[in-house]
Structure 1
């Protein structure tokens, strides 16, 4: 809380907080589902169900990430930087990198599926149209990139979480609390 403005909010707004944690849950779930189905025999019902769930959750992630960006760029609550100097620059760079990686991953997920030339849908509610067709030989390229970007996201998000804990328990500042729900998260 700023000493110059005693009524300044200490937390992000509820929508920002909700979208942040939904993104985190989806990223973990998407990564875990891909790791689990990778251990299952091809063609098994569980593997196919996990893949369908992965695709639907990936589409949901796309909507949430785009919504997050639009909210952040327009109406989302702005808080003063939690840190100064190099820590502030590193935090901003990590956030930009996470957004760029998430957007890249979303695009790669769609083009990978389109390169597979197989239909896909959103939780069985509607089919996703093929907007671009690719030669099937691109399937392995897009699939490999999709997997590599997933690992980078998980590693960077893990570092993001570790740093939030360092701030909370080591530096004992309000960095983590700003993204936790609370009475002033309106």
Structure 2
């Protein structure tokens, strides 16, 4: 089993972090859109936001791990031959990382607007800042919402590009993010 990335393939750590974060971030988006419409009398009215906050902290920590892993491993060369598409793919990934961090920061500002920290599944509490700004929860909430929607638009673009590579280009771009590939992987294999 290949743990680390190679010049032509992703390792199991990169693949695992990719899919774990992908599932977690999609779940967070759908839970977030669901919970804002909960009635005060719903049994989830208080519980869902607490879980959402705690999961957000864990996701941010996983994103930091993913970035460290990405910076400490070789990245497989792109299989596409069109330079602007390869550059666009790199830019898209950088935007993903930036958006996840900004979504987490805006979520933190919403959650700590009343000066209380975030309880992370009873393991630890992420403290609030010693200062808050006027209408912090409202302003950060608007930013959080639009960043989350922007993230989802990029997810759609990313998914479309992966499917294009798989069905039109018929290269291994998608396959190598599903499992480590053995041997010399070429764009036409």
TM normalised by structure 2 equals 0.85
* Long gaps (5+) in structure 2: 1-5, 183-189
Question: Match for 2:75 among 71, 74, 78?
Answer: 78
Q: Which has the higher contact order (CA 8 A, sep 6+)?
A: 1
* Long gaps (5+) in structure 1: 1-7
Following TM superposition, by how much is the alpha carbon of 1:97 offset from its aligned partner in structure 2, in angstroms? Answer: 1.0
Aligned length: 177
Q: Verify the 8 A CA contact 1:114 1:133 in the aligned structure 2.
A: no
Task: Provide the alpha-carbon RMSD of the alignment.
Answer: 1.9
| Residues 25 and 116 of structure 1: CA distance in aligned 2, closer, same or farther (over 3 Å) | farther
Structure-2 residue corresponding to 1:146: 144
Structure-2 residue corresponding to 1:40: 38
Matches within 5 A, 1:26-105: 26-42=24-40, 44-74=42-72, 76-84=73-81, 85-105=83-103
| Residues 153 and 132 of structure 1: CA distance in aligned 2, closer, same or farther (over 3 Å) | farther
Following TM superposition, by how much is the alpha carbon of 1:47 offset from its aligned partner in structure 2, in angstroms? Answer: 2.3
Structure-1 residue corresponding to 2:107: 109
2: distance between equivalents of 1:132 and 1:13? Answer: 42
| Residues 132 and 172 of structure 1: CA distance in aligned 2, closer, same or farther (over 3 Å) | farther
Structure-1 residue corresponding to 2:122: 124
- 135-144 or 156-165, larger mean C-alpha shift: 135-144
2: distance between equivalents of 1:124 and 1:31? Answer: 23
Which portions of structure 1, spanning 4 or more consecutive aligned residues, are displaced by more than 6 angstroms?
Answer: none
Q: Verify the 8 A CA contact 1:13 1:77 in the aligned structure 2.
A: no
* 1:30-66 CA distance string (max 9 Å, x none): 1011111122113633122211111111011101111
TM normalised by structure 1 equals 0.87
